[in-house]
């Protein structure tokens, strides 16, 4: 009988004896399940947040900031400066002129679910160009706001996460009383966590002179469109700007939160994995100790120690993989698609996002369970090789 057949035969025998050691096997399973659920759940937060930020991003959509500004809310451009940018090279144009959108941004406070505590929410003042440069805004309930009126539309995620922000409700922000007239969606992007209003009316409500926080610009199709735009802006003596693509900007915005949640997930996962390894190791060791006579009989019947080691290792891996599979199923149905909101530490505004248990996370969870199975079997395998046939046969 070759080694593989011996390993499979002994593994089959070992697995059939699990019924006599149900409690210890169940303990090992629970350890693996808990580790995989917590690890996958924590990393699904980072995955979902990053996905939301990246869904907003476009390589050919540029954001022009004031030179000193690190975020949208910190900058300003006068209308004259915005109009001068329309002459820049590298901008995509249509029959209406350059495709670019001046926008202004403020934070408002609104009560967030479930406890009603106030949280920051972005109120963005826009013109029609904002819809043109993005191209993915859809009104899914109610209607579009009318220019010149105190009307707003709200992203669907913000409407779900905040209290009282329903179509038809009125709210006082700045000096105006606003009516929510519609709910918008935008392919799961960060826009769904914002409120949009007619820019001139919003500026009036906050007693601002007419200025813009940022300008969004769609690049033309030429290969050097971005460099042409940057050169024009940098050589204009009347402008102090810096330029970033949406993808670059939102990658920077998501970096800290994503890194933090990943780090926490990995640390907690490692600690729980160590606990699961110890638990599974003790369980496997106790199983070997209680089966000394059985192992001695196997050795006496001619099974090589390699086959016995392989069987112990394979049994441990099978149990861990079963636990990992159960843990992944629990994590997927428990976390995937769950909608939450959190403060983006880099913008201090509330961002609604959806937990995402991705294929990569499922693979990582499966690998963790495999590693637990292998590591927890090392010492029991070593102990099994030290069992003397003569002493083992005399064991009670």
According to the model, what pLDDT value does residue 141 have? Answer: 95
* pLDDT tens-place string over residues 317-358: 888 899 999 999 999 998 887 877 666 665 556 676 778 888
* pLDDT tens-place string over residues 34-54: 889 988 888 888 888 777 766
Helix H or strand E encompassing 108: strand 100-112
According to the model, what pLDDT value does residue 188 have? Answer: 81
Residue 396 in this model has a pLDDT that exceeds 60: no
Averaged pLDDT, 377-395: 67
According to the model, what pLDDT value does residue 195 have? Answer: 95
Averaged pLDDT, 74-96: 89
According to the model, what pLDDT value does residue 391 have? Answer: 58
Residue 384 in this model has a pLDDT that exceeds 80: no
Question: pLDDT grade, residue 199 (50/70/90)?
Answer: very high
Residue 395 in this model has a pLDDT that exceeds 60: no
Residue 84 in this model has a pLDDT that exceeds 70: yes
According to the model, what pLDDT value does residue 373 have? Answer: 86
Tokens 């940022």 label which residue? 214
Asked whether 50 and 57 are in contact (CB, 8 A), the reply is no
According to the model, what pLDDT value does residue 290 have? Answer: 64
Mean pLDDT of the chain: 83
Higher pLDDT, 152 or 264: 152
Residue 308 in this model has a pLDDT that exceeds 80: no
Asked whether 177 and 222 are in contact (CB, 8 A), the reply is no
* pLDDT tens-place string over residues 133-143: 988 899 999 99
Averaged pLDDT, 182-203: 91
According to the model, what pLDDT value does residue 329 have? Answer: 94
Q: How much of the chain exceeds pLDDT 70, in percent?
A: 83
Please provide the DSSP assignment of 183-232 as one string.
EEE-TT-GGGGEEEEEHHHHHHHTT--SEESEEEEEB-SSTTHHHHHHHH
Q: From CA 15, how far away is CA 18, in angstroms rounded?
A: 5
* pLDDT tens-place string over residues 232-249: 998 888 888 888 888 888
Residue 177 C-alpha from the chain's centroid: 36
Residue 98: closest CA among 256, 248, 241, 218: 218
Residue 193: closest CA among 159, 222, 163: 159
Residue 351: closest CA among 38, 42, 55, 37: 55
CA dihedral 73, 75, 78, 82 (to 10 degrees): -90
Q: Could you tell me which residues come within 8 angstroms of residue 30 by beta carbon, excluding any fewer than 6 positions away?
A: 323
Which range has the worst mean pLDDT, 2-6, 28-32, 101-105, 368-372? 2-6
Residue 30 in this model has a pLDDT that exceeds 90: no
């Amino acid at each position: 009988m070759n080694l593989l057949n011996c390993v499979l035969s002994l593994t089959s025998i070992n697995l059939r004896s699990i019924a006599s050691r149900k409690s210890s096997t169940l303990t090992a399973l629970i350890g693996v399940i808990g580790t995989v659920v917590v690890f996958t759940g924590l990393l699904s937060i980072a995955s979902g947040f990053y996905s939301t930020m990246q869904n907003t991003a476009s390589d050919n959509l540029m954001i022009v900031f004031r030179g000193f500004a690190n975020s949208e809310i910190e900058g300003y451009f006068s209308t004259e400066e915005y109009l001068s940018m329309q002459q820049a090279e590298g901008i995509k144009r249509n029959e209406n002129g350059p495709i670019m959108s001046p926008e202004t941004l403020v934070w408002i406070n609104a009560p967030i679910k479930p406890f009603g505590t106030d949280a920051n929410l972005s109120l963005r003042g826009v013109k029609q160009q904002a819809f043109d440069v993005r191209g993915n805004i859809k009104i899914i309930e109610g209607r579009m706001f009318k220019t010149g009126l105190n009307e707003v539309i709200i992203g669907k995620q913000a409407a779900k996460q905040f209290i009282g922000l329903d179509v038809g409700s009125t709210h006082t922000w700045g000096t105006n009383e606003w009516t929510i007239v519609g709910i918008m969606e935008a392919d799961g992007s960060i826009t769904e966590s914002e409120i949009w209003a007619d820019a001139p009316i919003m500026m009036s409500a906050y007693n601002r002179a007419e200025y813009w926080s940022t300008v969004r610009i769609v690049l033309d199709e030429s290969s050097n469109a971005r460099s042409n735009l940057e050169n024009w802006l940098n050589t204009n003596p009347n402008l102090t700007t810096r330029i970033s693509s949406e993808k670059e900007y939102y990658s920077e915005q998501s970096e800290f939160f994503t890194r933090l949640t990943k780090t926490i997930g990995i640390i907690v996962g490692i600690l729980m994995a160590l606990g699961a390894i110890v638990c599974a190791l003790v369980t496997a060791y106790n199983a070997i100790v209680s089966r000394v006579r059985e192992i001695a009989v196997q050795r006496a019947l001619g099974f090589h120690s390699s086959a016995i080691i392989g069987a112990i290792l394979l049994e441990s891996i099978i149990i861990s993989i079963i636990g990992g599979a159960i843990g992944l199923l629990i994590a997927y149905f428990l976390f995937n698609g769950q909608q939450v909101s959190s403060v983006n530490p880099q913008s201090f505004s509330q961002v609604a996002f959806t937990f995402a248990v991705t294929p990569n996370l499922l693979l990582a969870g499966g690998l963790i369970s495999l590693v637990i199975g292998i590591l927890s079997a090392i010492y029991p395998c070593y102990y099994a090789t030290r069992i003397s046939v003569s002493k083992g046969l005399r064991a009670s």
